Amino acid sequence: MKNLLSIEELNGEQIRELLALGRKLKEERGRHAAQPLAGQTWALIFSKSSTRTRVSFEVGVSELGGRPMFLSVSDTQLGRGEPVRDTARVLGRMVHGAIIRTYAQSEVQEFAEHSGIPTINALTDQEHPCQILADLLTLEELYGVNSWKSMKIAFMGDTNNNMARSWMWAAKRLGFTLALGGPQHALPSDELLAQLNCPDVVCTTDPVEAVRGATVINTDTWISMGQENEKGSKEKAFFPYQVNRELLSHAAPKHSVFHCLPAYRGYEITDEVLEAHADAIFTEAENRLHAQKAVLCTIAQ
């Protein structure tokens, strides 16, 4: 594995290996002697805001012996229009790897192609692979390796965003049932569903049907980064899909709620539900560090 650009590009075995290594690195944190990134500098090139992704990668690269170098796009020539491929060719001659948060998926692909160095997608409009790996690691911790796959997992709200898409590809690659519940305009397109070609991924506009019997209920912001100007017009249609106590009364009796964070209380999730499920939610955040260290170790080999 040279890059991590999407869950779509991974196969099931690669995902399982990353999760196994993530578990090991979590257990061994502080005692892990290997420094696979020793002498290396990894650039974090971010066009969008971040708390978890930036911190977990800066800490993860450092713990593996490397030096993280944060580059806000607005402070680089990228922000003034220098093409991605030229920036990639420059950085490819100086740093050892790149971790990129941006808008178009094509930008991370272009960077990987022209830089020749390992490249990690730290969120695009299309996918958020690092978060999904952390979420799968959390599922394994909560329910046991593989046993969670027989459970129904639901994703509520904007079921066409980067998180939902990465969940869809994870369902396809690992073979679990994923129910997507959202308003018609926010369901995945027929084109995407045809490309996915996965009968285990089901879509519905009925929020109760989506969560009925589900053991894990996921949600995410209704307004992803870059969509801020749609806030007023988009939000109203999402309220029936809010993860709240009433909706969860239809889920499996012992369910978990997942949220990649940041959360907007009173919108996609209520404060009451977030606080009741804070253990799982903040474990997802912590597991960013362990899952990403597994990615770094794997692609730095």
- The interface region with ligand NVA, picked from 80-88, 157-165, 210-218, 293-301 by CB under 6 A, is 157-165
Sheet order of strands, 152-156 included: 201-204, 177-181, 152-156, 216-219, 256-259
Instruction: Return the number of the residue (40 or 162) whose C-beta is nearest ligand NVA.
Output: 162
Tokens 């889920």 sit on residue: 251
Q: Considering beta carbons, is residue 100 or 163 the nearer one to ligand NVA?
A: 163
- Taking the complex as a whole, the smallest distance from the CB of residue 301 to ligand CP amounts, in Å, to 25
Burial 177-195 (b: 16+ CB within 10 A, else e): bbbbbbbeebbbeeeebee
* Site size toward ligand NVA, by CB under 6 A: 10
Choice between 8 and 114, CB closer to ligand NVA:
8
* Residue 147 Cβ vs ligand NVA, minimum distance, rounded to whole Å: 27
Structure tokens, 196? 């996915």
Q: Give contact residues for ligand CP (rule: CB under 6 A).
A: 50-53, 123, 131, 260-261
Residue with tokens 């997802």: 284
Instruction: Specify the residue, 193 or 225, whose C-beta has the smaller distance to ligand NVA.
Output: 225
Query: Which one of 19, 214, 216, 260 is in contact with ligand NVA (CB under 6 A)?
Result: 260
| 162 strand-pairing partners | none
Q: What is the sign, positive or negative, of the torsion defined by CA atoms of 27, 32, 36, 41?
A: positive
Per DSSP, 189 falls in state P
**220 an active-site residue?**
yes
Q: Starting from the edge strand earliest in sequence, which strands make up the sheet with 67-72, in order?
A: 67-72, 41-46, 97-101, 119-121
> In the bound complex, what is the minimum distance in angstroms from residue 282's beta carbon to ligand CP?
11
Active-site residue identified among 131, 259, 277, 292: 131
Residues classed as catalytic: 101, 128, 131, 220, 260, 288
Sites of contact with ligand NVA (CB under 6 A): 123, 128, 161-163, 220-221, 224-225, 260
